[in-house]
Structure 1
Amino acid sequence: MCGIVGLFLKNQELQPKLGDLLTDMLITMTDRGPDSAGIAIYGNDGGKPKITVQSDDPETAFRGLDAALSDALGDTVGMRVIDTHAVLTLPEGTEPEARVFLAGKGIRVMGSGHAMEIFKEVGLPEQVAARFHLRQMAGSHGIGHTRMATESAVTTLGAHPFSTGADQCLVHNGSLSNHNQMRRELTQKGFAPETQNDTEVAACYISSRLAEGASLSEALEGTLQDLDGFFTFVVGTRNGFGVVRDPVACKPAVMAETEDYVAFGSEYRALANLPGIESARVWEPEPATVYFWER
């Protein structure tokens, strides 16, 4: 099952409403995946790199974390705590050192970049959205996922989106049959997945292709040759988002576009309450075809 949503805003006046719109879309998909939920928000680029982190014991893990990390890096680190997650704003060029420090504290990295923040947890989409105050979040675009676990445990790390590159993340509806083989190949290349989720394998695959010099469109096209199974991928990047379905396209998907936005949903009902949907161009994305929009 699983449910995917995505919203790319062309109209800047809608950016304050991004979190609110995405939350409604995500909650509508609850019965497609009620065990966990997650969302990636691409907000205004503040110019400094940031890392979104998570802890099962945030009260202890995040107490004094910004001061301790500032001392370790020799420069000021900002911190914004939201429930079990925190967004750390780092001095330029310090992310590798920060990751080593965080790993030593047992704190998990959800994603990094200049624009992207990722929030995901076990629970119903409505509960997850409320915990992270997603309705209050603004930005230019975002993607979300409701999960029904089929190949790995119901955990925070098993929830989508998966991020394996700066300002890059992926959500997935479907199943990959060759993910264990691909996991071994990616590990040999230095892109080892951290969980048993097949979706993270797909995210690592795209990162490995980008590292080899492929464009994002080429990396997405590569999934059609190298990843076996049935899937719909929605990918978020710093400047936009892309969609690709496998050649059979057996998983449901629908898109809508107006002058104000481009939207994706596993089902039309996820899009039904968007402003101006009655005049949108609505279509089902073609099999084995890469779609991409950028700001």
Structure 2
Amino acid sequence: MCGIVGLFIKNQALESQLGALVAPMLSEMTERGPDSAGIAVYRNPQENGCKITVLAQHQDFDWGALEATISNHFSLRDITVTRNHAVLSLDSEIDDVQVWMRDNWSDLSITSAGTNIEIFKGKGNPAEFIDQFDIKSMTGTHALGHTRMATESAITTEHSHPFSTGQDLCLVHNGSLSNHNRLRETLRKKGVHFKTDNDSEVAAGYLSWRLSEGDDLDQALNHAIEDLDGFYTFAIGTRDGFAVMRDPIGCKPAIMAETDDWAAMSSEYRAIATLPGAENARIWEPEPTQIYSWKRS
């Protein structure tokens, strides 16, 4: 039992309040997932080059050593450290940086890569996570969050959602997949890299692969209905979009709402109720296998 939230800002005047709006939503999901929390936020787009978020295993990681070493190989524009995470902004090719990081810094995990996305994860109570990473001050266009109750793997930061396996794509998931081990091996042969044994990372990897094969997001999700076995509610973020889909049975809870200012989803309505104007929003339960999506113009 986990909690997921997603918020897509339609009114650009509210982008400065993204964190202040999504933080209470995430906090409301504490009872569904007290073990760990994570958030993907889309903000500060890089017009050239890329940005990569990395996670250290220990709080006392030597970020200065990383900065000095990576500067010798790539054009590092900036490094912003928050606790055991750092966002690297580079004027370099994203694939080259990721390969180099995997080969040379095994004690770091790449949580996200792209031009817009940043992903932060932490163990423990979601309220502590919100404060530690100052979520309320974050700006941006859209965000997805997850609170986790570990039932199939250890409580580790690496197993926390969101998962990102492609450029600017992330996924949060409530449910379980029954064929993720077999699918993981198939995707590895197609060049998809995985960092954990979590089934949600397989779902993210599957979507990334479908997009790399030429699908748009709706097409990739339609293929997922055919190829992913299990019970799930997915919320997906892309560089300029946000989507939600449930499995054919639709047994995992989900609620959605929309106003002229925002579109939102959560595992429970009480998270959406924290948003301004929620009392006047159009509110509905997403239908099984139907794809609901929004995209910035």
Instruction: Give the TM-score band, short-chain normalised.
Output: over 0.9
Please tell me whether the aligned partners of residues 66 and 77 of structure 1 are also in contact (alpha carbons under 8 angstroms): no
Shift, 1:118, TM fit:
0.3
Alignment of 1:82-231 (within 5 A): 82-93=82-93, 95-97=95-97, 99-101=99-101, 103-105=103-105, 106-231=107-232
Aligned counterpart, 1:8: 8
| Aligned CA distance change for structure 1 residues 277 and 180 (closer, same or farther; 3 Å) | same
Shift, 1:95, TM fit:
4.4
In angstroms, what is the RMSD of aligned CA positions? 1.3
Structure 2 residue runs of 5 or longer lacking an equivalent are: none
Inter-partner Cα distance in structure 1 for 2:94 and 2:177: 35
Inter-partner Cα distance in structure 2 for 1:289 and 1:94: 33
Shift, 1:92, TM fit:
3.1
Aligned counterpart, 2:33: 33
Alignment of 1:25-64 (within 5 A): 25-48=25-48, 49-64=50-65
TM-score by length of 1: 0.96
Inter-partner Cα distance in structure 1 for 2:62 and 2:98: 15
Shift, 1:235, TM fit:
0.3
For 1:115, give the aligned amino acid: N
| Aligned CA distance change for structure 1 residues 258 and 18 (closer, same or farther; 3 Å) | same
**The residue matched to 1:37 in structure 2 has which SS?**
strand
| Aligned CA distance change for structure 1 residues 210 and 124 (closer, same or farther; 3 Å) | same
Inter-partner Cα distance in structure 2 for 1:129 and 1:24: 9
Q: Give deviations 1:102-130, integer Å, cap 9, x for gaps.
A: 64122211101111100011111111111
Quote the sequence identity (%).
51
TM-score by length of 2: 0.95
Aligned counterpart, 2:275: 274
Q: Give deviations 1:170-206, integer Å, cap 9, x for gaps.
A: 0000011111111121122121422110000101111
**The residue matched to 2:72 in structure 1 has which SS?**
helix
Aligned counterpart, 1:241: 242
Inter-partner Cα distance in structure 2 for 1:234 and 1:76: 32
For 2:26, give the aligned amino acid: L
| Aligned CA distance change for structure 1 residues 90 and 58 (closer, same or farther; 3 Å) | farther
Deviates further, 124-133 or 228-237: 124-133
Structure 1 residue runs of 5 or longer lacking an equivalent are: none
Inter-partner Cα distance in structure 2 for 1:221 and 1:214: 10
Shift, 1:242, TM fit:
0.5
Aligned counterpart, 2:24: 24
**The residue matched to 1:52 in structure 2 has which SS?**
strand
Inter-partner Cα distance in structure 1 for 2:95 and 2:190: 21
Shift, 1:100, TM fit:
1.3
Inter-partner Cα distance in structure 1 for 2:249 and 2:147: 22
